[in-house]
Amino acid sequence: MFMTRSVVDSLVYSIDDAHESTCVIEPGECITLKLQNAFGKSFTTPEEFASFLSADNQQEKKALNHPCTGPIEVKTSEKNISLAIHIVDAKATKGYQCISKSTGLLKEKFLERSCRIIEFSDDQTVSFKDQDLIVKTHPKIGFISTIDDQIRSVGRACENGGNIDLNYLDKGSTIYLPVNSSRARFLVGDLHACQGNGEAAGSALEADGMVMLQVDVVDKINFPVIDDKHRLIIVGWGERIEAALKQSVENALVYFSRVFPCCHWSQNEIYKLISAEGNLVIGNATGHITTCGMVFYKKRLVNKFGFQIFA
């Protein structure tokens, strides 16, 4: 596990083409990244954690928010491409959870942060309320993005990816991200030990940990698409939830227009299929840029010859 030639642990706090590449890899190569939790700092006690989040510590909190590992550069001369980033493995080493005072959907009702720290054992489980409930963790990446010539906050999402916060990016899944620059480079961050779509309380079970990725080059898709073995998830984003939902539907129309047999259909026919089989799921529900995914279950989409249209 995590035995690759490179372990990258350099952190940046913005999406910016001015950042130097920390590692250059060949297409098809595996790389291991060490990820810092989204708060940007590791803590030893709940009291230390709560103190970091206090109103008196806004400067440090803002400076360290949402660190990302990279940039990782993929060596290629090909143009009009996307990166296919496959999550070979993921492991959370330490978890941090609290109730957000700024982004939770019920922030006016829950005023205590209730900070907790979790040390994960080999079985990667986490307990809630003094062992009343024990949950198996499935570490997931919240942030992943290619880099273009625009400077962006790591808390945002766009056509390149970003703070997607859909809980499908775990071991075995692949995300396709467009390269909109002369260099194929990407950043990764915001690891979660567990994550509910929408993050109702404003944060998930944020985690320190490691991910092993295998990266390849494929034909370009102009928006993020996630393939998690059983499902295909087409990502949308926008300043409001309605805009993100609309973007996801528009992206699904484009995507299905590329796929046999739908490539021979009218837009009307594809739109009807999307409405019949697409499941809109909220990702980042309360950020400045919200996200969603249109989820399709592969086994339900079979052509007249009996083959799934998505392998």
- On whether the CB atoms of residues 283 and 165 are closer than 8 A, the answer is yes
Its CATH class, for the domain covering 231-300, is alpha beta
Q: pLDDT under 70 in the chain at which residues?
A: 1-6
Position 102 scores a pLDDT of: 83
Position 123 scores a pLDDT of: 78
Position 133 scores a pLDDT of: 87
| pLDDT tens digits along 271-293 | 999 999 999 999 999 888 999 99
Distance (Å, whole) CA 261 – CA 263: 5
> With the CA atoms of 163, 167, 173 and 174 taken in that order, what torsion angle do they form, in degrees rounded to the nearest 10?
-20
What's the pTM?
A: 0.94
CATH number of 7-219: 2.60.120.580
Give me the DSSP letters along the chain: ----S-EE--EESSB-TTSPPSEEE-TT-EEEEEE--TTSS--SSHHHHHHHHSGGGHHHHHHHSS-EEEEEEE-----SEEEEEEEEEEEEEEEEE---SSS-TTTTT------EEEE--TT-EEEETTTTEEEE---EEEEEEE--SS-B-TT-EETTEEE---TT-BTT-EEEEE--SSSEEEEEEEEEEE--TT-TTS--EEEEEEEEEEEEEEE--SS-EEE-SSEEEEEEEESSHHHHHHHHHHHHHHHHTTSTTGGGS-HHHHHHHHHHH-EEEESS-SSSSEEEEEEEEGGG-B-TTS-BS--
Domain assignments of the chain as residue spans, ordered by start: 7-219, 231-300
Position 287 scores a pLDDT of: 82
Position 1 scores a pLDDT of: 55
